[in-house]
């Protein structure tokens, strides 16, 4: 139940008013009819909703060491290639707030896209996220701060036990059109997977895995 007051002046015969409330069906009435009524009864809106889960706990998954031991140069010719690694997540439901990575960029600017895929028989499968989530990084060295993708505005909820998180370089540019290079960094021993083009097969290297961190809520 609720109370409200309607103040309308200079209403035309063709004017209407909509009365609504969260959780109820709206009603539309001509103004002259609405002004004659003292009560309005709205029908409860019946809607199937998933149980609401509040994610309060936080965890960081991925690389521990900050010392770079590996460099993986990467083409920025917009080939659709990706490079990433598999994460095993011990939670039934969780959100990924940020994906953090380490790179050396000798170009003025580079734009990167993050991919999150299912894992099928140990190999990256279909995309889980539908949005194109990108970040732009300027010229930097491995001594500069790490870069990251911010996923919080998208509010995805994941249920997969295994995820493949990867990055795609969409393009790089330099103001003087001079040669420049881009490379990912690895810090810990481990495996990473990559493909050089969008339609290429996945390959894996078990040496130094690339620096990737997931910031989770569960």
Domains and CATH numbers, the chain: 13-48 (no CATH), 58-217 (2.60.120)
The pLDDT assigned to 71 comes to 61
List the single range of 65-69, 121-125, 126-130, 156-160 with lowest mean pLDDT: 65-69
Percent of the chain clearing pLDDT 90 (strictly above)? 44
Task: Find, among 148, 150, 140, 211, the residue nearest to 182 by Cα.
Answer: 140
Q: Tell me the whole-structure pTM to 2 decimals.
A: 0.70
Task: Please report the pLDDT score of residue 174 as a whole number.
Answer: 87
Out of 20-34, 68-82, 186-200, the most confident range is: 186-200
DSSP 34: H
Give 47-97 pLDDT, tens digit per residue.
Answer: 433 444 456 788 787 755 554 455 677 777 788 999 999 999 999 999 999
Q: What mean pLDDT, rounded, does the chain reach?
A: 83
Which of 98, 42, 41, 118 lies closest to 214, judged by CA? 98
Of 43-47, 96-100, 184-188, 214-218, least confident by mean pLDDT is 43-47
Return the closest-CA partner of residue 160 out of 83, 80, 214.
Answer: 214
Biggest CA pair distance of the chain: 78
101 neighbors 212 (Cβ within 8 angstroms) = yes
- Containing 4, the helix (H) or strand (E) segment is none
Give 186's pLDDT tier (boundaries 50, 70, 90).
confident
Mean pLDDT for the stretch of residues 21-37: 76
CA gap 103, 167 in Å, rounded: 11
């Amino acid at each position: 139940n609720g109370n409200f007051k309607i103040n309308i002046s200079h209403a035309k015969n063709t004017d209407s008013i909509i009365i609504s409330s969260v959780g109820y069906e709206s009603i539309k009435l001509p103004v002259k009819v609405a002004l004659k009524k003292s009560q309005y009864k709205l029908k409860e809106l019946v809607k199937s909703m998933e149980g609401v889960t509040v994610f309060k706990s936080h965890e960081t998954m991925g690389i521990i060491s900050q010392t770079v031991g590996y460099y993986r140069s990467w083409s920025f010719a917009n080939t659709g290639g990706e490079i990433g690694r598999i994460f095993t997540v011990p939670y039934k439901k969780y959100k990924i707030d940020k994906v953090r990575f380490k790179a050396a960029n000798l170009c003025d600017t580079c734009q990167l896209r993050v991919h999150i895929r299912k894992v099928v028989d140990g190999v990256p499968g279909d995309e889980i996220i539908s949005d194109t989530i990108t970040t732009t990084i300027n010229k930097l060295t491995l001594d500069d701060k790490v870069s990251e993708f911010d996923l919080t505005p998208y509010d995805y909820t994941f249920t997969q036990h295994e995820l493949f998180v990867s990055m795609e370089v969409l393009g790089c540019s330099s103001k003087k059109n001079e040669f420049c290079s881009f490379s990912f960094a690895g810090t810990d021993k481990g495996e990473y997977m990559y493909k050089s083009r969008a339609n290429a097969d996945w390959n894996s290297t078990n040496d130094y895995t690339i620096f990737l961190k997931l910031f989770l809520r569960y």
